[in-house]
Structure 1
Amino acid sequence: MAVSHYVLTGWAVLSAFFAVLWAFQARSRDASHVDVGWALGLGFMSVLAAVSLPGDAGRRALAAAMTCLWSLRLAGHLYVDRVRGKPEDGRYAALRARWGKAANRNFFFFFQAQALLDVLLSLPFVAVSSRSGALGGLDAAGAAIFLVSVAAEAAADRQLARFRRDPQSRGKTCRAGLWAWSRHPNYFFEWTHWLSYAVMAPGDWRAWIAPPAMLFFLLKVTGIPATEAQALKSRGEDYRRYQRETSMFFPWFPRRRAASGVSAPPRGAGGP
């Protein structure tokens, strides 16, 4: 299958898939499941790349296995954490309130944008699955980056879930484990996992699309801005103190809290 056919086939299938999810949203007035669909859509695109592109069979299988592991873990986590038995995610509830009567129409385009985003982010799969030659050191390095990233992201998710289960944590901010080093360690390791595909196909520009694209979306669009806005609403001064003390994205040494309650960096240390 030519790359153009891969892109068009994937887009058509995902467009229909997100239309079904949008219809469910219109009935339930809850758009939280769009994130689950986004993760599953990328898993589908990796399998489509593995069965339709002409690269080394072992490399195609490795890339698909990696992405499906990431996709199923993230989709399962998002379903349990944000969908099952939960009210609508605060980010989407805020959009629904802002859009008013136009919410269903606007959410349709929002859901379809996820299909396009999945297709865009699948280009690294094209790069890896089109590469010929036997598996080698670059593939091993990429797989290692992938495994460390997914394991660390899962650890951050577990640490946050454990914190939230504690009744005494209500109204407080998680500072356990990886959350002491970054305000968004799950997002950071979500981003680093995309570097694995670039390492596996470093000479193909398509492999390098996802890292800057994901960094932009996480830092400027749907990731950190919306998440921190909700955190400030629900946790107020505790979260503002956390912002002063902890690096936003890239893990770094926590800033020491001064006696006045204003954070001060440790001697010889800097950071974001």
Structure 2
Amino acid sequence: MSAFGGLVLAWAIAAVLQLAGWAWQRRHRNAGIVDALWAFGIGIAALVIALSGDGAPLPRTLLAILAGGWGLRLGWHLWQRVRGEPEDGRYAHLRGRWQQDGRKWLAFFQLQALLVALFAVPFMAVARNPVSGVTGWMVAGIAVWVVSVAGEAVADSQLARFRADPANRGRTCRSGLWRYSRHPNYFFEWLHWFTYVLLAVGSPWWWLAWAGPLVMFVFLRWISGIPYTEAQALRTRGDDYREYQRSTPMLFPWFPSRPASRSTQ
């Protein structure tokens, strides 16, 4: 099987997973599972494409470990949220519009399977890399992965602790990494995709690896990430979140423009 064949197989697996997720949300009325299954789908896609590629063993092994590990960690984190919390406000808002329209929800879940295939395109570049020895680019790729995964995990943990405190209901987290970016988890998620640009150096398909950070930035910034998350935050937190928007950078971490008001630890 070629790397392209692996991509098709990864899409098919993701489609089956999302079909199961669609059925699950019909019973539990919680569409948040779609995000967990997307992340698991990315991890599975990395493993399938790594196995089916015709590149050297080392870059394919790194792809399986790093991308597979990233997807499985994120998927498990999101699944824990789905199990332990009410439906994410973004999906609850959507449910208010769609109700239980099975066709719309099914199309929405299957769109996520297609997005798994789209975001797995950079993996084909790595899986075709013929470079068999350790290079500085590979070391840099591993370093980017470590920093990005650690940063995303820290941001997720800080937000989870904040949300677990009932006293913070209706308030905005401004502590830790959230003091320097309104979406530090998204920033590190975007940074993570440069791992595969670095691992693909030397591949005849190297240019494909750039699809990862470029497409992820577009989705986070304008399509499904920040716009929906901030719209929901404004609905639930109002002026508190507007003040946070005025003082804190949107995505790329930097010092707030003024002391963060009502900060909690």
After TM superposition, the score normalised by the length of structure 1 is 0.90
Report the counterpart of residue 106 of structure 1 in structure 2: 104
Report the counterpart of residue 34 of structure 1 in structure 2: 34
- Amino acid of the structure 1 residue aligned with 2:240: D
Structure 1: gaps of 5 or more residues: 262-272
Residue correspondence of structure 1 range 1-272 to structure 2 within 5 A:
1-81=1-81, 83-100=82-99, 103-133=101-131, 134-202=133-201, 204-256=206-258
In angstroms, what is the RMSD of aligned CA positions?
Answer: 1.6
Deviation of residue 96 (structure 1)?
1.6
Q: CA separation in 2, counterparts of 1:41 and 1:219?
A: 22
**Which 10-residue stretch deviates more, 196-205 or 86-95?**
196-205
Deviation of residue 251 (structure 1)?
0.8
Q: CA separation in 2, counterparts of 1:9 and 1:79?
A: 23
- Amino acid of the structure 2 residue aligned with 1:166: D
Q: CA separation in 2, counterparts of 1:144 and 1:240?
A: 35
Q: CA separation in 2, counterparts of 1:208 and 1:21?
A: 30
Q: CA separation in 1, counterparts of 2:5 and 2:63?
A: 19
Deviation of residue 109 (structure 1)?
0.9
**1:109-143, Cα deviation, whole Å (9 max, x unpaired):** 11111111111111111111110122211111011
Q: CA separation in 1, counterparts of 2:258 and 2:87?
A: 36
- Please list every run of at least 4 consecutive aligned residues from structure 1 whose deviation after the TM superposition is greater than 3 angstroms: none
The 1:248/1:59 distance shift into structure 2, 3 A limit, reads same
Verify the 8 A CA contact 2:54 2:127 in the aligned structure 1: yes
Does the residue aligned with 1:132 lie in a helix, a strand or coil? coil
Q: CA separation in 2, counterparts of 1:257 and 1:65?
A: 41
After TM superposition, the score normalised by the length of structure 2 is 0.92
Q: CA separation in 1, counterparts of 2:69 and 2:83?
A: 21
Does the residue aligned with 1:30 lie in a helix, a strand or coil? coil
**Which 10-residue stretch deviates more, 235-244 or 83-92?**
83-92
- Amino acid of the structure 1 residue aligned with 2:210: W
Q: CA separation in 1, counterparts of 2:28 and 2:190?
A: 31
Higher relative contact order (CA 8 A, sep 6+): 2
Larger Cα Rg: Structure 1 or Structure 2? 1
Does the residue aligned with 1:209 lie in a helix, a strand or coil? helix
Does the residue aligned with 1:227 lie in a helix, a strand or coil? helix
**1:58-101, Cα deviation, whole Å (9 max, x unpaired):** 211111101122112111211122x1132221111111211245
